[in-house]
């Protein structure tokens, strides 16, 4: 009998050691990123409930979220008081767009530990997806529980920026950057806050800091270019606008702005080049752009090309009186025949009897008639 019990004990120890070995191997496979093999090893473990959480994490690692959720549910059933399992379950529910169930699970977690700031933050994210205004309250609670919670601070500051509540943005970004000076997201909000306050000089400093952190996005280059242009650093504005265009070469608005910046530098060749490219890309009424192009062409003394641009502007918008007058004015400069010029102004005033250029048109018509009289005399 003693020998029998000894044999049983040996077998139990052997089996326990074997299962421990299986678990160690599975854990090692998981740690080294060999998730599919880890899953096979975990499944060979006798008590699956004990490894359900590890199976869930392995399935989640390879992107099989349905299986991950299934095993997380098994783990919750086996260990209903394990908050970590519920927390991962709620986050995965949110990630897979199961927002209602995710919200309910986060509320359960908050009921057991209302002082955990991340529970409130994650619930806020879910409420955002559900378009529930309670999201802001959850982010605020998260911040009050942990005023170093960078993600909650970002959410609060962003909301205040959207509402143009500038002082509140300064408050939250100031707190966030005090504890994490290189938080690029908060830097961006701070830069935008000064931008919308029209403090372009200070905004440019923060956008420059973003660039120093490697945040060379199209957005940063666009906004920094505009800031430079507002305090007459036109060359620097051009440099940044070129970088914005390089990020998206078919962005007609940025191309047009670049053309306008070159106009300010009296570099009409480059201005014409970029504005022409902008016009080519846009399939909407472009009378304003053609007028700008015509003005630049006049600066370059290319009146023939300018005439065509003003004609295109009128074709895009026949009611554009400005384009109509500039067309007459350019033809006046280009044509030599006085009678032709006189007819241009007479036709213009007949077609547009009330317009902002009436006085100028009448004065020029009078000059031309006087010129004709002198030549006839």
For residue 86, being part of any structural domain is answered with: no
Q: Based on the fold, state whether residues 184 and 220 are members of the same structural domain.
A: no
Burial of 60 (0-12, 13-18, 19+ CB in 10 A): buried
CA distances from 345 to 87, 152, 180, 352 (A): 78, 65, 66, 10
**Residues 132-155: pLDDT tens digits?**
999 999 999 999 999 999 999 999
**Last residue of some domain: 281, 314, 337?**
281
For residue 4, being part of any structural domain is answered with: no
Mean pLDDT of 68-94: 96
**Last residue of some domain: 281, 304, 329?**
281
Token couple for 176: 């966030």
Contact 191, 203 (CB under 8 A): yes
**Last residue of some domain: 165, 200, 235?**
200
Q: Based on the fold, state whether residues 196 and 158 are members of the same structural domain.
A: yes
**Residues 327-348: pLDDT tens digits?**
999 999 999 999 999 999 999 9
Please count the structural domains in the chain: 2
| Residue-level pLDDT at 4 | 45
CATH (domain of 255): 1.25.40.10
For residue 182, being part of any structural domain is answered with: yes
Q: Other CB atoms closer than 10 Å to residue 107's CB: what's the count? A: 13
Does the pLDDT value for residue 213 go beyond 80? yes
Give the side-chain half-sphere CA count within 13 A for 250: 3
Does the pLDDT value for residue 131 go beyond 60? yes
- pTM, two decimals, is 0.74
Phi, psi at residue 188, to the nearest 5°? -65, -45
For residue 335, being part of any structural domain is answered with: no
Domain extent at residue 162 = 147-200
Q: Based on the fold, state whether residues 194 and 222 are members of the same structural domain.
A: no
Contact 207, 224 (CB under 8 A): yes
For residue 6, being part of any structural domain is answered with: no
pLDDT bracket for residue 371 (50, 70, 90): confident
Q: Based on the fold, state whether residues 226 and 262 are members of the same structural domain.
A: yes
**Residues 310-321: pLDDT tens digits?**
999 998 898 899
Contact 116, 109 (CB under 8 A): yes
Question: Distance (Å, rounded) from C-alpha 204 to C-alpha 199?
Answer: 9
């Amino acid at each position: 009998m003693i020998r029998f019990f000894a044999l049983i004990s040996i077998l139990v120890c052997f089996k326990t050691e074997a299962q421990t070995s299986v678990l160690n191997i599975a854990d090692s496979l998981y740690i080294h990123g060999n998730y599919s093999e880890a899953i096979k090893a975990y499944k060979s473990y006798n008590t699956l409930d004990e490894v359900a959480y590890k199976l869930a994490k392995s399935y989640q690692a390879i992107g099989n979220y349905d299986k991950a959720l299934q095993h997380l549910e098994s783990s919750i059933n086996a260990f209903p008081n394990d908050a970590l399992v519920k927390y991962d379950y709620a986050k995965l529910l949110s990630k897979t767009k199961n927002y209602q169930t995710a919200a309910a699970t986060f509320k359960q977690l908050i009921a057991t530990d209302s002082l955990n700031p991340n529970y409130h933050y994650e619930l806020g994210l879910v409420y955002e997806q559900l378009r529930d205004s309670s999201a802001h309250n959850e982010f605020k609670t998260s911040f009050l529980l942990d005023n170093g919670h960078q993600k909650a601070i970002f959410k609060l500051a962003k909301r205040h920026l959207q509402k143009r509540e500038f002082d509140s943005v300064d408050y939250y970004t100031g707190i966030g950057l005090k504890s994490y000076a290189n938080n690029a997201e908060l830097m961006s909000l701070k830069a935008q806050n000064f931008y919308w306050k029209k403090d372009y000089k200070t905004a440019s400093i923060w956008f420059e800091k973003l660039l120093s952190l490697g945040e060379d996005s199209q957005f940063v280059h666009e906004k920094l270019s505009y800031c430079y242009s507002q305090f007459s650093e036109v060359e620097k504005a051009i440099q940044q606008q070129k970088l914005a265009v390089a990020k998206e070469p078919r962005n007609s608005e940025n191309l047009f702005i670049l053309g306008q910046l070159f106009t300010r530098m009296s570099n009409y060749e480059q201005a014409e080049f970029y504005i022409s490219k902008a016009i080519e890309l846009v399939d909407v009424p472009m009378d304003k752009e053609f007028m700008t192009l015509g003005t630049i062409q006049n600066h370059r003394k290319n009146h023939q090309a300018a005439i065509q641009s003003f004609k295109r502007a009128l074709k895009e918008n026949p009611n554009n009186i400005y384009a109509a007058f500039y067309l007459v004015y350019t033809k006046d400069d280009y044509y030599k025949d006085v009678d032709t010029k006189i007819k241009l102004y007479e036709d213009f005033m007949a077609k547009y009897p009330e317009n902002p250029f009436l006085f100028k048109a009448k004065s020029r018509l009078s000059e031309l008639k006087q010129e004709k009289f002198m030549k006839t005399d």
